[in-house]
Chains A and B, each alone.
Chain A
């Protein structure tokens, strides 16, 4: 009894690996044959791939797409890892940009999309976006589905009550720099006694750190998180936002964060393009009270995902047809118009269909131009294999200060020490 229960821990670790032995003989699903008429697609929640699948099935009604939303982006990457290590793999899988480097380092697990025609499409995408999915020898393992241009979403009614301007052009003029942004926050907090932004970690640090041309790795792939000027700047600004007392101390996507958003307990939130959907879903009653202004500090990108085909996929051709159809510039433009994901294909940025989009939830803000403008002129940074782990420790250090437990003066050193432990071996 005792022994068996203890070993469940071991089962958890080793299940994936022992399954390798069984998977050769299993594969019992009969409907997912290799006839090219159906394929399995793993996506994550919150990114509305259902819309994209519907769009595809309208064009190819005879193809059956079995979409599974595995969990959030990280959970989906974990499930994919387990599957690649020795389980039943999907035919098509969505991978978030931050998780991609770990898979790019092991390209033997994926179909080289050049064999299916990715060479011809490669030029359609923003160079720095597609290059994240290309290995040193030129193997393409993923095609980008979207990019995360950045902006600030703010509540016009709350700004008005605090005596701040509400027009998006004038609001943008309030904060040409992040220092000015924090000053604006102080004014807001002084006038209303309420928090200005949700939190300092993702609200300030994650934004600023994504605006540089170098993040945690230099272009050669060396870890430079401890000396990259943009990282230090982002960290210091995060701490500054904490000590200015303008944050609601609500971590993104928690219950408290959603509740505070509904109640208007903070007035502004950093809004990469994919955040707009979250705001709509979380606080439907605030429709029309939001607007979107440009972000301080200039161009930047946060997020974005890729579609890849595992090497052991049973229906790679059907999966590729989905990629070729939906991730063409026209397909991406349609998806943007339906679901709001920002296309990584610059050829459609001047398309009137994109530039004329106005979002009524956000006071008819021209979301197409606001976000694509934030992407043009962007100097991209390299994402490395430990980017997620490094980012987590920086965010934790800032949150710890925000919670009143960490010493702001020692937070940077503490974060560096934690990162060394985390990625050390």
Chain B
């Protein structure tokens, strides 16, 4: 029995705080559930309504768009930077490596306040610069693409350093000798990156792709903070993500049943997308000689 006792803490905590709430969400999704009033069983009505709800599809589109805009450049950029940091002999390497973690430890709220002021239509730094170049002003927060870019910039800024460090740590484990041998064989920086760095990073790439899918699809704080208290995130819900829509319905409109149905839909989306991404990123394999 001892082995089971050793692993019990994780599984017990997981069951209480992970599995039970998840199952309970499925259960609530079958009800018209007023948190402070009646609970009425309505079967799959919430899901039928959800599929016909333009606001749901809009939120799904926004979520995917923001996720793509924030994840793809972030992971690609981090890969390249990690390769460079690993390769180039830098003075104060530790300082550069540590400073990349600063955005990660900065509170999201502070980040959102600073970025939304920078991106402000009339008084923002960015529009002032664009104005000097004769462009704009662009109303980032009020436009679809602008608000997505703004949120993606915040997410990228926050996670870029963290991802880079993960890649860098993994690269440090690659024996220098392999790079040196490749250099002797005449492989340039790019070929070394493609044929050595990339394949040896496979496990950590899979990890970052899957976790950033999970995180990216649940993005909530940034749109909440740039929308200044309006739960629709702008007049046409242009930056309302799925979790934000869930929050609006469950906690703004007191529709816990409908909110739970959104949560279930999001769960399915995350599982499917994380699965696809896992499948795709495991395709990266060291080339056979």
Say which residue of B22, B123, B235, B250 sits within 8 Å of A403 (CB atoms): B235
Let me know if B25 is at the binding interface, CB within 8 A.
yes
Contact between B236 and A16 (Cβ–Cβ < 8 Å)?
Answer: no
Shortest A302–chain B CB gap in Å is 17
Q: A13-B260, A403-B139, A421-B55 are in contact. Are A5 and B21 (CB under 8 A)?
A: no
Q: A2-B274, A400-B235, A400-B236 are in contact. Are A106 and B121 (CB under 8 A)?
A: no
Which A residues lie within 8 Å of B258 (CB)? Answer: 425
Contact between B251 and A81 (Cβ–Cβ < 8 Å)?
Answer: yes
Some 23 contacts from A to B, beta carbons below 8 A apart, are A1-B211, A2-B210, A5-B218, A6-B22, A7-B21, A9-B267, A10-B22, A10-B260, A13-B259, A14-B21, A16-B35, A17-B35, A18-B24, A84-B36, A103-B36, A106-B36, A250-B122, A251-B228, A253-B228, A255-B117, A255-B123, A259-B120, A425-B258
Which B residues lie within 8 Å of A59 (CB)? Answer: none
Docked complex: A1-37 residues within 8 A CB-CB of B: 1-18
- Chain A interface (Cβ < 8 Å from any Cβ of B): 1-18, 72, 74, 78, 81-82, 84-85, 102-103, 105-106, 109, 249-251, 253-256, 259-260, 265, 388-389, 392, 395-397, 399-400, 403, 405-406, 421-422, 424-425
Contact between A9 and B243 (Cβ–Cβ < 8 Å)?
Answer: yes
Contact between B18 and A85 (Cβ–Cβ < 8 Å)?
Answer: no
Say which residue of A6, A18, A249, A403 sits within 8 Å of B270 (CB atoms): A6
Closest to B13 in A: A4
Which A residues lie within 8 Å of B236 (CB)? Answer: 396, 400, 405-406
Majority secondary structure, A binding face? helix
CA distance A72 to B228 in the complex (A): 11
CA distance A17 to B25 in the complex (A): 10
Contact between A6 and B214 (Cβ–Cβ < 8 Å)?
Answer: yes
Contact between A11 and B270 (Cβ–Cβ < 8 Å)?
Answer: no
Contact between A10 and B139 (Cβ–Cβ < 8 Å)?
Answer: no
Which A residues lie within 8 Å of B34 (CB)? Answer: 106
Q: A17-B35, A399-B235, A421-B54 are in contact. Are A10 and B271 (CB under 8 A)?
A: no
Which B residues lie within 8 Å of A4 (CB)? Answer: 14, 18
Which A residues lie within 8 Å of B24 (CB)? Answer: 10, 14, 17-18
CA distance A403 to B117 in the complex (A): 19
User: How many B residues, CB 8 Å from partner?
Assistant: 60
Docked complex: B35-88 residues within 8 A CB-CB of A: 35-37, 45, 49, 53-55
Mark each residue of chain B from 1 to 34: 1 if its CB lies under 8 Å from any CB of chain A, else 0.
0000000000000100111111011001000101
Shortest A320–chain B CB gap in Å is 21
Say which residue of B122, B139, B218 sits within 8 Å of A9 (CB atoms): B218
CA distance A84 to B17 in the complex (A): 21
Let me know if B208 is at the binding interface, CB within 8 A.
no
Contact between B251 and A82 (Cβ–Cβ < 8 Å)?
Answer: yes
Most chain-B CB neighbours within 10 Å: which of A8, A13, A403?
A13
Which A residues lie within 8 Å of B223 (CB)? Answer: none
Contact between A251 and B230 (Cβ–Cβ < 8 Å)?
Answer: yes
- Chain B interface (Cβ < 8 Å from any Cβ of A): 14, 17-22, 24-25, 28, 32, 34-37, 45, 49, 53-55, 116-117, 120-123, 139, 142-143, 210-211, 214-215, 218, 228-232, 234-236, 243, 246-247, 250-254, 256, 258-260, 263, 266-267, 270-271, 274
Q: A5-B215, A403-B235 are in contact. Are A13 and B210 (CB under 8 A)?
A: no
Say which residue of A82, A256, A392, A397 sits within 8 Å of B123 (CB atoms): A256
Shortest B220–chain A CB gap in Å is 9
Known: A5-B215, A106-B34, A265-B122. 19 other contacts (CB 8 A): A2-B274, A4-B18, A6-B271, A9-B246, A9-B263, A10-B24, A12-B263, A13-B25, A13-B260, A14-B21, A14-B25, A81-B35, A85-B35, A256-B121, A395-B235, A403-B142, A421-B53, A424-B49, A425-B45
Say which residue of A72, A78, A406 sits within 8 Å of B252 (CB atoms): A78
Q: A10-B25, A18-B24, A102-B254 are in contact. Are A256 and B122 (CB under 8 A)?
A: yes
Majority secondary structure, B binding face? helix
CA distance A389 to B230 in the complex (A): 11
CA distance A395 to B24 in the complex (A): 35
Contact between A78 and B251 (Cβ–Cβ < 8 Å)?
Answer: yes
Which B residues lie within 8 Å of A5 (CB)? Answer: 211, 214-215, 218
Closest to B260 in A: A13
Closest to A78 in B: B251
Which B residues lie within 8 Å of A106 (CB)? Answer: 34, 36-37
Which B residues lie within 8 Å of A265 (CB)? Answer: 122
Which A residues lie within 8 Å of B263 (CB)? Answer: 9-10, 12-13
Most chain-B CB neighbours within 10 Å: which of A9, A15, A18, A102?
A9
Shortest A248–chain B CB gap in Å is 8
Contact between A109 and B36 (Cβ–Cβ < 8 Å)?
Answer: yes
Closest to A9 in B: B263
Closest to B267 in A: A6
Contact between B246 and A18 (Cβ–Cβ < 8 Å)?
Answer: no
Contact between B218 and A8 (Cβ–Cβ < 8 Å)?
Answer: yes
Q: A8-B218, A18-B20, A421-B53 are in contact. Are A392 and B260 (CB under 8 A)?
A: no
Which B residues lie within 8 Å of A1 (CB)? Answer: 210-211
Contact between B266 and A105 (Cβ–Cβ < 8 Å)?
Answer: no
Which B residues lie within 8 Å of A3 (CB)? Answer: 18
Closest to B19 in A: A7
CA distance A421 to B259 in the complex (A): 15
Contact between B53 and A7 (Cβ–Cβ < 8 Å)?
Answer: no
Which B residues lie within 8 Å of A255 (CB)? Answer: 116-117, 120, 123, 228
Contact between B270 and A81 (Cβ–Cβ < 8 Å)?
Answer: no
Closest to A250 in B: B122
Q: A6-B214, A84-B36 are in contact. Are A74 and B232 (CB under 8 A)?
A: no
Contact between B18 and A259 (Cβ–Cβ < 8 Å)?
Answer: no
Which A residues lie within 8 Å of B211 (CB)? Answer: 1, 5
Closest to B243 in A: A9
CA distance A251 to B230 in the complex (A): 10
Which B residues lie within 8 Å of A8 (CB)? Answer: 218
Which A residues lie within 8 Å of B243 (CB)? Answer: 9, 12
Shortest A177–chain B CB gap in Å is 27
Which A residues lie within 8 Å of B123 (CB)? Answer: 255-256, 259-260
Shortest B154–chain A CB gap in Å is 15
CA distance A400 to B238 in the complex (A): 11
Closest to B121 in A: A256
